[in-house]
Structure 1
Amino acid sequence: MEPEIVERVKQTLSQYKARQVETTLKLLSENNTVPFIARYRKEMTGNLDEVAIREIQDEANRITKLQQRKREVLNQISEQGNLTPGLTKQINAATQLQQVEDLYLPYKQKRQTKAEIAKAAGLMPFAQWVLQFPTTGIEAKAKQFVNDEVADVSAALAGLHEILTEAIGERAQFREWVRRYTARNGQLTSRLKRNGESLDDDHVYQLYYEFETSLKQVSHYQTLAINRGEKAKVLTVKIKVDEDAILQYLNFQLIGRHHGPAVEIVTAAYKDAYKRFIGPAIERDLRRELTDGAQTHAIQVFGDNLYHLLMQAPLKNHVVMGFDPAYRTGCKLAIMDGNGKFLAKQVIYPHKPAPTQKREAAMPAFLKLLTDYQVDMIAIGNGTASRESEQFVADAIKQMKRPVRYTIVNEAGASVYSASSVARKEFPDFNVEERSAVSIGRRLQDPLAELIKIDPKSVGVGQYQHDVAESALDEQLDRVVETAVNQVGVDLNRASVELLTHISGLTARTATNIVAYRDEIGTFTTRVQLKKVPRLGPKAYEQSVGFLRIIGGKNILDNTDIHPESYPVAKQILNHLNVTLADVGTSKMPTGLPATELATMSQLFGVGNTTLTDILAGLQRPGRDLRDEMPAPILRTDVLQMADLKPGMELQGTVRNVVDFGVFVDIGVKQDGLVHISHLTKHFVRNPAAVVSVGDIVTVWVLSVDEDRHRIQLSMVAPDD
């Protein structure tokens, strides 16, 4: 990477030490992945996490693009013969792309404007003369420029006006000042468009029929909602600003103390320049900045929610039934063993309009499945007929002689998965709904492994996701998935191609080859066998192997997050502590070693304290899963109806989505309740994500219930508080 870019990144991201930035960029340039650097190169980066590494990476990419654009602009202006030392200095000093574009604007090739026509007609010298503010002789001077292309004095003055107006409108200094002034003092307004209400039957945009707020204070979700209303032709959106103050600035810059007939000409030109060029351009720029900021924020919210959704605690070693509810077509059931292996499927018809005979047969068939396969957990999809199915399941549980519990699972995206090529390959003989039942059940057993098969945009945790740039959203969600998968690690002998594809250093091709080689040999018994996988070279092995676990293999270290490059050190540590490989993960492994002992070992084995601590953690807890520390799903045995809810009632629920204005909580009834941002805590909250995350188990109190509108208002603040 160019030294100049590295220096600029260090200047921009001054919160990081220069060495951290230099090392991170060097590691990235050597094709190391972000998860690998964050996990196995902590000593080199000063313990930077994925977020910091990506911030450095993104800033380097931004500056690289900026430098490239500067070179393009300089070359194009130079080819025109208009490049001056002063302009070169200004362009090179620019820190934002907008500044470069403003400086380039006067030299940018454009369609033939009235000003260009006037220049071609020879009126440029006339404009330059007028800008010297002569005290007399404007019309006399204009006569000198009458020719075959300039019919008379009026035409000369009109051409003069166009040249001056365009020149003023394109001056970078003026645009920069007006942009800053408008950003500080402007107001974003939206009004109901004529006949707009007829396009807003549900009054979705009613809040914005008469809306006005400072550009500095407009919320991200307001920006996206207003944009959507404008696109739907319901709203008219404008930026209001004190134009007199702007015109006064232009007057001061262009006219100052000058007087005479030229003042009137220049005044008309700068007013027209603001009206036609500067004002509309600045409004577009600021609207775009608002939108970009709102989209970036919405993408971040989606990413945060997705991360917490993927990191929900798995329900391990339970026989689970996936229950995909429906009315007419029947409820599809699928049973998986404790490892997620499919065991059985069936369709029952417990709900109307199914015939009475089928409805009566549903309960015995259901109870038989629970008994025959020793099902102890039931995952019910939250789609159509979900709550009727919940009542059916609760009635069945009461008839069981052993404990069976259920939970409602968000089935968003299950239908997308069921119709996908991945699902068809996994269950070629199943119909779409039967695949959905499997997916719903596995989401409870291992949310990460199952949700990874679905387009992240389909999992139902976004905020205005359809209003953001799809490519940027996809990039962010891919990063989130990559982070989650690598933080957890995968079982090399069970992981799907889809899961392996997100492992550091692997591609779809190498992931496919791993699974094919696994099928060929039966199971991996050691990490070293990965080196025999076709097309998985030394770099891919280095980047991926630490995130791939082998349970019950030949080497207990293969079931830890210790990288094979550190195995020699790990064995030295075991010898130093007077324990063996057989003691790894047992009570014989020492814990809570004093800092002095860690310092001694660090010096003795030539590894940093952070790496040493990580190795010790791996030795103490092989097979550890970060998700085990997350809240477990709420399991129920009976049904709660919306009609049962009363103000003041205390309940436990699961956070399903976090948005700017609050959080949606599943409390076990058909409709998720909303905890408005003002009811999250007793104190002011700017960002709900700072208080709760998707998957959190929270205690809430019912504020109000509107059954007609299917709305439940909740609070996370106890009534007494």
Structure 2
Amino acid sequence: MLFDVSDVRKEGDVLIEQDMNNVSDEAARRERQMMIGQIAKELGLSERQVGQAAGLLDEGNTIPFIARYRKEMTGELDENSLRDIEERLSYLRSLGERKREVIRIIEEQGKLTDELRGQIVGAVKLQEVEDLYRPYRQKRKTRASVAKEKGLEPLADWIMEQRRGGNPEAEAGKYADPAKGVESVEQALQGAQDIIAESIADDAAVRSWVRQYTASQGILVSEAKDKEQESVYENYYSYREPVHKMPPHRILAINRGERENVLKVGIEVDAACIHAHITRKLIKGPSPVKELLEAVAEDAYKRLIAPSVEREVRGEMTEKGENQAISIFSGNLRSLLLQPPVKGRRVLGVDPAYRTGCKLAVVDETGKLLEVAVTYPTPPHNKKREAAEKFKELIAKYGIQLIVIGNGTGSRETEQFTAETIAEIGDPGLAYLIVNEAGASVYSASKLAQEEFPDLDVAERSAASIARRVQDPLAELVKIEPKAIGVGQYQHDVSQRHLDESLKAVVESAVNHVGVDVNTASPSLLSYVAGINSTIAKNIVKYREENGSFKNRKQLQKVPRLGAKSYEQCIGFLRIPEGENTLDHTPIHPESYDVVSRLFKELGLALSQIGSKELAPVLAAQNPEELAARLDVGVPTLRDILESLQRPGRDPREELPPPIFRTDVLKIEDLAPGMELQGTVRNVIDFGAFVDIGIKNDGLVHISQLSSSFVKHPMDVVSVGDNVTVWVLSVDLKKGRVSLTMRPPRE
């Protein structure tokens, strides 16, 4: 035998497999291109931008790295655009998987037509796919399935033929058979109607139209379950609003009231209009079964379509509310994290309380804990004299320049006491500051805090955290679970997974925007650097402790588990202020160090001039476009390099105004309409902003009072941490509420 048949079979199998792979690869490429085209259209970007971004993401690059160091490839897409692409790409890929699964299931049932396949493949939303799949989904026992088991499907088909002649009762009489469970003509007709009603309810086009009509024309109605019951939901005890006009915060408020069993909520819609639409689709013309089909249309909507469509529409409303709430929380969190650090001051942190006393913590300029103590200036103890002596002792002993008070229980009494003590001392350089202590208790009870301060109790750790929050808000706040930092609205009412993902992305963005000193950063801070996970972060700190401070960026390649890809992603965001190479203290990536060398050679400069006063104006005078062509480098990259070299070691947060320091306390009784005050924005929500003006409760600037011109959303005007000038509009002493305005009074 000249050859073995089995070898031929093997070769044939290989060729077939290769052909199948080629077909599969080609299909995958087409699907990917369709996704890229769809995303580009949705986001208003070019297909090249989306394609390059998708490719970089698929290669495992992080969004901060792509946004900063791959600008030429993406056309300078920012982090927000890249996250939008990542999110849509993930959605569309999941959608593609679901389409394939649905097609497979329907094909196995032997019911897949070319038309149905085309509809499924062309669907752009998961809801569309599920609507198309609905008739083929395995259902639990329904009235229609019971009727089919009794053999009534042919009767339903006869009715749907809508013949001009014939008698429905006479036709139904053929199926009346007690042995099959059909006791009468009426039961036979009812069973056939149930089959038709389910068919209508499963029709994708009908469901889509009803859903769209309900969303655009429906009225959300909220009523009290007990009108005598007092609650925070009284505004919604008898409330009506068009579904499409409801603002996100109101959706979530009503949802919460319903969840707490205070409100009864539903959607009212013109059922007659929907019946008419279904009837037009269903009835072909005059026939003996017309009245039967009209009844079927009404039953299909009322019993089968309306309940599920209302759930779907309310689900979409909730998703809208959640997305907005998460967006607001994310924006507020970023502003809070990027508050300017108060450097070069020794700080006395105060965690106020009543019964257990005020815990004190002194930290030096670097945040090192020097001493802790406890005093009792607040009720029920009221030991103000002893507390004042302790304050004065610590202030004198450590040269305290700033007292930082948490805004928790007893904060305003502690603030009053602090202001009186500062007045007694009479030092013009001494001031106090109220900070948001949200999350401090979460941190102080955490394993991280126990490791950091093993000899302190929970309240003492909290006082130390409060003190450090002003010295470096970012470094301290990253130790706390992001959602525990109270700068949102309805954060407990949203998808916690989505919230966690969004807030983690915000922290990551803020950390990489500022950059991290690799020789002082905690594992918590390092873990948010692009490409670094918690294990690598701990390994960096361990290597630092065992080998001393890092002298250059290359040393980080020796850290266990920090591989080539992680190094590429993280190294540009890690800083070494006192390192051997000045460039290691800049955001310039080591891959561009050669560009810097060629740049300095081109301009006749020496690298030793980096950081000097004479260098900045020389670099500022350069034309990036012309210079980039000579250096054979991308314009965006060169532009970033020039900016970094002009201000090496720059902290972008330092360009923001510092927080407002106070020396005296203000009471609500001191306020009067028209009074001008300086305040700090503590929280921004859909309907306005809360501003700390130095009284017990923050004042509210309603969205209508944020500006003399129209404001679409408060975040367009103010951010958390902003110092603002406000005027008192009204004061409610009984409720302790103050209404403020940022619109200057007329002269």
What value does the CA root-mean-square deviation take over the aligned residues? 1.5
Which one of the candidate residues 375, 378, 403 is aligned to 1:378? Answer: 403
Task: Specify the code of the residue in structure 2 equivalent to 1:492.
Answer: V
Q: TM-score, normalised by structure 1?
A: 0.97
Task: Specify the code of the residue in structure 1 equivalent to 2:49.
Answer: Q
Q: TM-score, normalised by structure 2?
A: 0.93
C-alpha contact 1:196 1:233 (8 A) present in aligned 2: no
Q: Which residue of the partner structure matches residue 97 of structure 1?
A: 126
Give the 3-state SS of the residue equivalent to 1:344 in structure 2. strand
Deviation at 1:598, TM superposition (A): 2.3
Q: Distance in 1 between matches of 2:688 and 2:616?
A: 45
In the superposition, relative to structure 1, how do residues 602 and 289 fare at CA in structure 2: closer, same or farther (>3 Å)?
A: same
Matched, 1:30 2:59: yes
Q: Distance in 2 between matches of 1:401 and 1:190?
A: 58
Tell me, which stretches of 5 or more residues in structure 1 are unaligned? none
Q: Which residue of the partner structure matches residue 10 of structure 2?
A: none
Give the 3-state SS of the residue equivalent to 1:393 in structure 2. helix
Which one of the candidate residues 262, 265, 285 is aligned to 2:292? Answer: 265
C-alpha contact 1:321 1:377 (8 A) present in aligned 2: yes
Which one of the candidate residues 530, 534, 539 is aligned to 1:508? Answer: 534
Deviation at 1:578, TM superposition (A): 2.9
Q: Which residue of the partner structure matches residue 644 of structure 1?
A: 670
Give the 3-state SS of the residue equivalent to 1:131 in structure 2. helix
C-alpha contact 1:189 1:239 (8 A) present in aligned 2: yes
Give the 3-state SS of the residue equivalent to 1:116 in structure 2. helix
Is the deviation greater in 426-435 or in 116-125? 116-125
Which one of the candidate residues 297, 309, 324 is aligned to 1:282? Answer: 309
Which one of the candidate residues 465, 469, 472 is aligned to 1:443? Answer: 469
In the superposition, relative to structure 1, how do residues 496 and 11 fare at CA in structure 2: closer, same or farther (>3 Å)?
A: same
Deviations 1:433-481 (A, max 9, x none): 1001100011011111101111111111011111101001001001101
Q: Distance in 2 between matches of 1:608 and 1:461?
A: 40
Deviation at 1:10, TM superposition (A): 2.4
Q: Which residue of the partner structure matches residue 208 of structure 1?
A: 236
C-alpha contact 2:339 2:721 (8 A) present in aligned 1: yes
Following superposition of structure 1 onto structure 2, how do residues 76-91 of structure 1 map, counting pairs within 5 Å?
Answer: 76-91=105-120
Deviation at 1:3, TM superposition (A): 4.3
Which one of the candidate residues 655, 667, 690 is aligned to 1:629? Answer: 655
Q: Distance in 1 between matches of 2:655 and 2:120?
A: 52
Is the deviation greater in 409-418 or in 603-612? 603-612
C-alpha contact 1:8 1:63 (8 A) present in aligned 2: yes
Matched, 1:243 2:268: no
Which one of the candidate residues 94, 107, 110 is aligned to 1:65? Answer: 94
C-alpha contact 1:631 1:697 (8 A) present in aligned 2: yes
Q: Which residue of the partner structure matches residue 670 of structure 1?
A: 696
Deviation at 1:2, TM superposition (A): 4.6
Task: Specify the code of the residue in structure 2 equivalent to 1:395.
Answer: E
Deviation at 1:595, TM superposition (A): 7.8
Deviation at 1:145, TM superposition (A): 2.0
Matched, 1:112 2:141: yes
Q: Which residue of the partner structure matches residue 159 of structure 1?
A: 191
Following superposition of structure 1 onto structure 2, how do residues 603-622 of structure 1 map, counting pairs within 5 Å?
Answer: 603-622=629-648
C-alpha contact 1:350 1:362 (8 A) present in aligned 2: yes
Q: Which residue of the partner structure matches residue 502 of structure 2?
A: 476
Deviation at 1:278, TM superposition (A): 1.2
Give the 3-state SS of the residue equivalent to 1:635 in structure 2. coil
Which one of the candidate residues 586, 591, 604 is aligned to 2:612? Answer: 586
Matched, 1:49 2:78: yes
Deviation at 1:610, TM superposition (A): 1.1
Q: Which residue of the partner structure matches residue 357 of structure 2?
A: 330
Q: Distance in 2 between matches of 1:282 and 1:355?
A: 61
Task: Specify the code of the residue in structure 1 equivalent to 2:176.
Answer: V
Q: Distance in 2 between matches of 1:462 and 1:188?
A: 25
Give the 3-state SS of the residue equivalent to 1:554 in structure 2. coil
Deviation at 1:592, TM superposition (A): 6.9
Matched, 1:172 2:204: yes
Which one of the candidate residues 554, 574, 578 is aligned to 1:528? Answer: 554
Matched, 1:403 2:432: no
Q: Which residue of the partner structure matches residue 681 of structure 1?
A: 707
Task: Specify the code of the residue in structure 2 equivalent to 1:145.
Answer: Y
Q: Which residue of the partner structure matches residue 142 of structure 1?
A: 172
Task: Specify the code of the residue in structure 2 equivalent to 1:121.
Answer: K
Q: Distance in 1 between matches of 2:254 and 2:204?
A: 30
Deviation at 1:59, TM superposition (A): 0.8
Give the 3-state SS of the residue equivalent to 1:13 in structure 2. helix
Task: Specify the code of the residue in structure 2 equivalent to 1:367.
Answer: K
Task: Specify the code of the residue in structure 2 equivalent to 1:255.
Answer: I
C-alpha contact 1:413 1:454 (8 A) present in aligned 2: yes
Give the 3-state SS of the residue equivalent to 1:591 in structure 2. helix
C-alpha contact 1:189 1:211 (8 A) present in aligned 2: yes
C-alpha contact 2:619 2:646 (8 A) present in aligned 1: no
Task: Specify the code of the residue in structure 1 equivalent to 2:600.
Answer: L
Deviation at 1:249, TM superposition (A): 1.1
Q: Which residue of the partner structure matches residue 129 of structure 1?
A: 158
Deviations 1:44-73 (A, max 9, x none): 111110000011111111100111111111
Is the deviation greater in 234-243 or in 269-278? 234-243
Between the aligned residues of both structures, percent identity stands at: 51
Deviation at 1:348, TM superposition (A): 1.8
Q: Distance in 1 between matches of 2:642 and 2:364?
A: 33
Is the deviation greater in 600-609 or in 492-501? 600-609
C-alpha contact 1:674 1:712 (8 A) present in aligned 2: yes
Give the 3-state SS of the residue equivalent to 1:552 in structure 2. coil
Q: Which residue of the partner structure matches residue 486 of structure 1?
A: 512
In the superposition, relative to structure 1, how do residues 355 and 271 fare at CA in structure 2: closer, same or farther (>3 Å)?
A: closer
Give the 3-state SS of the residue equivalent to 2:615 in structure 1. coil
Deviation at 1:260, TM superposition (A): 2.9
Task: Specify the code of the residue in structure 1 equivalent to 2:738.
Answer: I
Q: Distance in 2 between matches of 1:593 and 1:439?
A: 41
Deviation at 1:596, TM superposition (A): 6.8
Give the 3-state SS of the residue equivalent to 1:379 in structure 2. strand
Task: Specify the code of the residue in structure 1 equivalent to 2:300.
Answer: A
Deviation at 1:575, TM superposition (A): 2.6
Task: Specify the code of the residue in structure 2 equivalent to 1:603.
Answer: A
In the superposition, relative to structure 1, how do residues 596 and 551 fare at CA in structure 2: closer, same or farther (>3 Å)?
A: closer
Q: Which residue of the partner structure matches residue 231 of structure 1?
A: 259
Q: Distance in 1 between matches of 2:381 and 2:117?
A: 78
C-alpha contact 2:350 2:463 (8 A) present in aligned 1: yes
Deviation at 1:159, TM superposition (A): 1.1
C-alpha contact 2:175 2:188 (8 A) present in aligned 1: yes
In the superposition, relative to structure 1, how do residues 45 and 197 fare at CA in structure 2: closer, same or farther (>3 Å)?
A: farther
In the superposition, relative to structure 1, how do residues 222 and 496 fare at CA in structure 2: closer, same or farther (>3 Å)?
A: same
Q: Distance in 1 between matches of 2:72 and 2:33?
A: 20
Q: Which residue of the partner structure matches residue 292 of structure 1?
A: 319
Deviation at 1:207, TM superposition (A): 1.3
Which one of the candidate residues 393, 406, 413 is aligned to 1:368? Answer: 393
